[in-house]
């Protein structure tokens, strides 16, 4: 076989996928790994897409997306995100992944530094690497009080920095940044002439405060907002999202996604249109379910004596495993093999996630209860063993 590009083969791949591969070799594990909602796509969305397909909507869509969908997105942005935009500022993409990658393609090249939250979604590193950029982490984990701070951005800034990536609500920790913090990030970007690439894939899945989009706080000529239908409407397999940015940026985005995907799936776009134009009680119901699961898991972890970071949005919770004395990869592998529970090591999301594991709340309540009970028992057993080892070492 002819040689493949070594620099591409060196791409750091997702630790989430790695845990799924490891779990395939374990009999009937309790899986608390996926970021895939355990809800079905609401019926009115499926019906809308099916009706459009039966009516002949099975050809290519315009590169930037169906005009009716872009209009509906503009309306949704105004009503639910506090963002004023025009249809020509919207480009429909193949999920948030397609929107993030093509946005980075337009802004990042060899040697360019990209400031990325740590811990942060693992595929940020893969995208930046493939494009030849440099991943520069800034802390949003326990060392930073689980929130971003412009002082940390200032410390990470170099003369090669062109992009700041922001994620709220966040994966893996479920952080929701307050409006004043987002305003500070926008001001920081304006002061240093940077792009702000805001990953808003979890959009309205916020538990304790209203959603707050980065673009609602200024920076009209530099904020690139990436949204998805995947999480809010349980549409992960539909692969449809959208980018909101300056007009020239979205025009170029549509042109540059064309060589890869031509356009987002036309049938999926009709499903997305049905999602926006149809009843929204499904969003409230799913958000309420995730909130209820969060509270139940937190109470269970409290009873087990396990530490955690309480999420404010999305559908994950970071559980503290530092008392075990194990690094997160070793812990996750042992928990999978010895305890029959799949979780994601915190280090899969960057050094800032070390000492924690990510547990998904996108699982049925009985599965969560069983998995968290096993996880808690495993932490306590290892923590006790670690403490005994320390006492033995001190005695000798």
Given 277, 300, 327, the domain boundary residue is 277
- Report pLDDT for 387: 46
Domain check: are 102 and 201 in the same one?
yes
Domain check: are 159 and 178 in the same one?
yes
Domain check: are 325 and 256 in the same one?
no
- Report pLDDT for 209: 86
Domain check: are 104 and 130 in the same one?
yes
Is residue 36 included in any domain, yes or no? yes
Q: What is the pLDDT of residues 160-193, one digit of tens each?
A: 999 999 999 999 999 999 999 999 999 999 999 9
pLDDT over threshold 50, residue 249? yes
CATH number of the domain enclosing 253: 3.40.640.10
Domain check: are 199 and 229 in the same one?
yes
- Report pLDDT for 70: 98
pLDDT over threshold 50, residue 303? yes
pLDDT classification of 396: cutoffs 50, 70, 90: very low
The H-or-E segment that residue 309 falls in is strand 308-309
- Report pLDDT for 41: 98
Domain check: are 210 and 72 in the same one?
yes
pLDDT classification of 388: cutoffs 50, 70, 90: very low
pLDDT over threshold 80, residue 385? no
Average pLDDT, the chain: 95
Domain check: are 313 and 377 in the same one?
yes
Query: How many angstroms separate the CA atoms of 286 and 280, rounded?
Result: 10
pLDDT over threshold 70, residue 394? no
Domain check: are 84 and 231 in the same one?
yes
Domain check: are 13 and 56 in the same one?
no
For 1-15, 224-238, 353-367, which range has the lowest pLDDT when averaged over its residues?
1-15
Given 223, 243, 277, the domain boundary residue is 277
Is residue 301 included in any domain, yes or no? yes
Domain check: are 73 and 128 in the same one?
yes
Given 261, 277, 293, the domain boundary residue is 277
Q: What is the pLDDT of residues 330-352, one digit of tens each?
A: 999 999 999 999 999 999 999 99
Mean pLDDT of 90-117: 98
- Report pLDDT for 211: 82
pLDDT classification of 386: cutoffs 50, 70, 90: low
CATH number of the domain enclosing 311: 3.90.1150.10
Is residue 324 included in any domain, yes or no? yes
Is residue 218 included in any domain, yes or no? yes
pLDDT over threshold 60, residue 354? yes
- Report pLDDT for 392: 44
Is residue 355 included in any domain, yes or no? yes
- Report pLDDT for 13: 86
Query: For the chain, what percent of residues have pLDDT higher than 90?
Result: 93
Domain check: are 13 and 50 in the same one?
no
Closest CA to 319 of 345, 293, 340: 345
Mean pLDDT of 52-66: 97
Is residue 394 included in any domain, yes or no? no
Structural contact between residues 278 and 72, judged by C-beta atoms closer than 8 angstroms? no
Which residues are 199's β-sheet partners?
Answer: 167, 226
Q: What is the pLDDT of residues 123-133, one digit of tens each?
A: 999 999 999 99
- Report pLDDT for 130: 96
Is residue 391 included in any domain, yes or no? no
Reported pTM = 0.94
> How many domains does the structure of the chain reveal?
2
Domain check: are 331 and 252 in the same one?
no
**Residue 5 contacts by C-beta under 8 Å, 6 or more apart in sequence?**
none
Is residue 234 included in any domain, yes or no? yes
Mean pLDDT of 351-364: 97
pLDDT classification of 309: cutoffs 50, 70, 90: very high
Range of the domain at 182: 43-277
pLDDT classification of 316: cutoffs 50, 70, 90: very high
């Amino acid at each position: 076989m002819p040689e493949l590009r070594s620099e591409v083969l060196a791409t750091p791949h997702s630790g989430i996928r790695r845990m799924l591969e490891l779990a395939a070799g374990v009999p009937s594990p309790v899986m608390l790994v996926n970021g895939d909602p355990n809800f079905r796509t609401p019926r009115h969305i499926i019906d809308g897409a099916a009706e459009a397909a039966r009516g002949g909507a099975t050809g290519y869509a315009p590169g930037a997306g169906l005009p009716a969908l872009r209009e509906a997105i503009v309306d949704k942005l105004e009503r639910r995100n506090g963002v004023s935009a025009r249809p020509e500022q919207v480009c429909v993409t193949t999920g948030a992944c397609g929107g993030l990658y093509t946005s980075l393609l337009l802004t990042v090249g060899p040697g360019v530094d990209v400031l990325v939250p740590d811990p942060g979604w693992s595929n940020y590193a893969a995208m930046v690497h493939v494009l030849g950029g440099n991943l520069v982490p800034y802390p949003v984990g326990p060392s930073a009080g689980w929130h971003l701070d412009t002082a940390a951005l200032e410390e990470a800034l170099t003369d090669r920095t062109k992009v700041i990536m922001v994620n709220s609500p966040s994966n893996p920790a479920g952080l929701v940044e307050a409006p004043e913090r987002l305003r500070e990030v926008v001001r920081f970007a304006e002061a240093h002439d940077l792009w702000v690439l805001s990953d808003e894939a979890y959009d309205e899945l916020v538990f304790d405060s209203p959603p707050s989009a980065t673009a609602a706080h200024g920076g009209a000529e530099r904020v690139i907002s990436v949204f998805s239908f995947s999480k809010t409407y349980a549409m992960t397999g539909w692969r449809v999202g959208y980018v909101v940015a300056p007009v020239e940026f979205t025009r170029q985005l549509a042109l540059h996604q064309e060589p890869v995907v031509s356009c987002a799936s036309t049938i999926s776009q009709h499903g997305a249109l049905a999602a926006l134009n149809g009843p929204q009680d499904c969003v409230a119901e799913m958000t309420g379910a995730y909130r209820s699961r969060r509270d139940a898991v937190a109470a269970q972890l409290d009873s087990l004596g396990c530490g955690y970071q309480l999420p404010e949005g999305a559908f994950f919770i970071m559980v503290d495993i530092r008392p075990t004395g194990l690094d997160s990869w070793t812990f996750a592998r042992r928990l999978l093999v010895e305890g029959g529970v799949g979780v994601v090591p915190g280090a899969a999301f960057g050094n800032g996630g070390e000492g924690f594991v990510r547990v998904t709340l996108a699982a049925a309540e009985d599965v969560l209860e069983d998995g968290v009970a096993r996880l808690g028992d495993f932490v306590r057993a290892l923590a006790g063993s670690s403490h005994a080892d320390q006492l033995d070492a001190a005695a000798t």
